């Protein structure tokens, strides 16, 4: 493999937006991009947590160029304000739609806009953000979604994407990731049809846990007992969240990346160097993608025309 996550091409003069760039895989994505010389915009809900993340990055990259934009993906009003702020920082070389709710509530909840919480935050918010900052992307800019192997565990029911007929926490999470996948592939199809040189890509981190990552104060803090238990239980099948960022970083920076590619860990899709993977057929279906796009425009009130 010619791609090496430890020898990244220089990104001096580029700007990347990372939603949820203050924690987890998003933090390490931000750190690695900053280490390559990019200006990184951390878009997240908490200014305090973003400040902690930026301080942690600067312990590794003292001259890092970092910005913060407040963003709550469960509020379309917040998304619109964040989009204004991001456009003011443009042009943008990459929008990395990393943020997401992972822990599902035991009962169905909705965002302030009445959307099911998981799909609302993980997909609809990112759809609206992408649509509203799209014109700020450079001609060769990239949009990168954060996918999940949960799409292989839960069959898609496109007619119940917001779990109105039946709610189960992990099912709702998987549906949100089916939507993230469907959007990435549909955006790729529309970009190609429009003759655009922009790229739409997808990445997933594999089985990435905090305990196996390089430690960062304020970012990877855990009790000693929890850290040891994670290491004992998962060290043979998992990787650290720092390595979990590699597929996203490859999608963002690989000069040979082809739009529509899905990157993930090469070793059993759980860990290892990032490589192209095949998505589940339902997520990549053009019929699903087209229907999803229309649904997203209706749900968010944001028109995304290419």
Tokens of 187: 């955006």
Residues in the chain, overall count: 306
Instruction: Give the CA angle between residues 173, 179, 183 to the nearest 5°.
Output: 150
Crossing angle of the two packed helices 76-87 and 125-133, in degrees rounded to 10: 30
Alpha-carbon span 54 to 34, nearest angstrom: 10
- Provide the 10 A C-beta neighbour count for residue 170: 12
Closest C-alpha among 129, 106, 107, 104 to residue 118? 104
Tokens of 80: 């619109």
- Examine residue 91 and say whether the peptide bond preceding it is cis (omega within 30 degrees of 0): yes
Crossing angle of the two packed helices 169-193 and 286-300, in degrees rounded to 10: 100
167 is catalytic: no
CA atoms within 13 A on the CB side of 236: 2
Among residues 27, 167, 173, 263, the one annotated as catalytic is 173
Identify the H or E element spanning 84: helix 76-87
Cα–Cα distances in Å, from 120 out to 47, 54, 59, 76, 110?
A: 22, 27, 35, 9, 8
Crossing angle of the two packed helices 246-253 and 24-35, in degrees rounded to 10: 40
- Provide the 10 A C-beta neighbour count for residue 88: 10
Bridge partners of 264, per DSSP, are 275
Alpha-carbon span 284 to 184, nearest angstrom: 9
Instruction: List active site positions.
Output: 173
């Amino acid at each position: 493999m010619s791609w090496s996550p430890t020898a990244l091409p220089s990104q001096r003069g580029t700007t990347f937006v990372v939603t949820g760039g203050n924690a987890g895989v998003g933090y390490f994505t931000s750190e690695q991009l900053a280490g390559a010389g990019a200006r990184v915009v951390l878009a997240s809900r908490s200014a305090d947590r973003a400040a902690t993340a930026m301080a942690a990055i600067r312990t590794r990259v003292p001259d890092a160029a970092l910005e913060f934009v407040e963003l709550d993906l469960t509020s379309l009003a917040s998304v619109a304000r964040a989009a204004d702020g991001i456009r003011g920082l443009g042009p943008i070389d990459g929008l990395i739609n990393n943020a997401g709710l992972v822990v599902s509530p035991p009962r169905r909840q909705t965002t302030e806009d009445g959307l099911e919480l998981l799909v609302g935050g993980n997909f609809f918010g990112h759809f609206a953000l992408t649509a509203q900052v799209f014109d700020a992307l450079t001609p060769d800019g990239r949009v990168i979604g954060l996918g999940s192997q949960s799409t292989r565990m839960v069959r898609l029911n496109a007619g119940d994407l917001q779990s109105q007929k039946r709610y189960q926490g992990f099912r709702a999470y998987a549906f949100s990731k089916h939507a993230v996948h469907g959007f990435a592939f549909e955006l790729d199809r529309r970009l190609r049809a429009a003759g655009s040189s922009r790229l739409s890509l997808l990445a997933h981190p594999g089985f990435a846990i905090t305990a196996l990552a390089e430690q960062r104060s304020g970012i990877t803090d855990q009790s000693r007992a929890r850290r040891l238990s994670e290491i004992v239980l998962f060290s043979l099948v998992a990787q650290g969240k720092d390595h979990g960022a590699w597929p996203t970083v490859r999608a963002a920076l690989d000069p040979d990346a082809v739009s529509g590619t899905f990157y993930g860990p090469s070793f059993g899709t759980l860990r290892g160097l990032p490589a192209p993977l095949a998505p589940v057929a339902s997520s990549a279906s053009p019929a699903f993608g087209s229907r999803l796009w229309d649904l997203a425009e209706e749900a968010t009130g944001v028109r995304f025309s290419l």
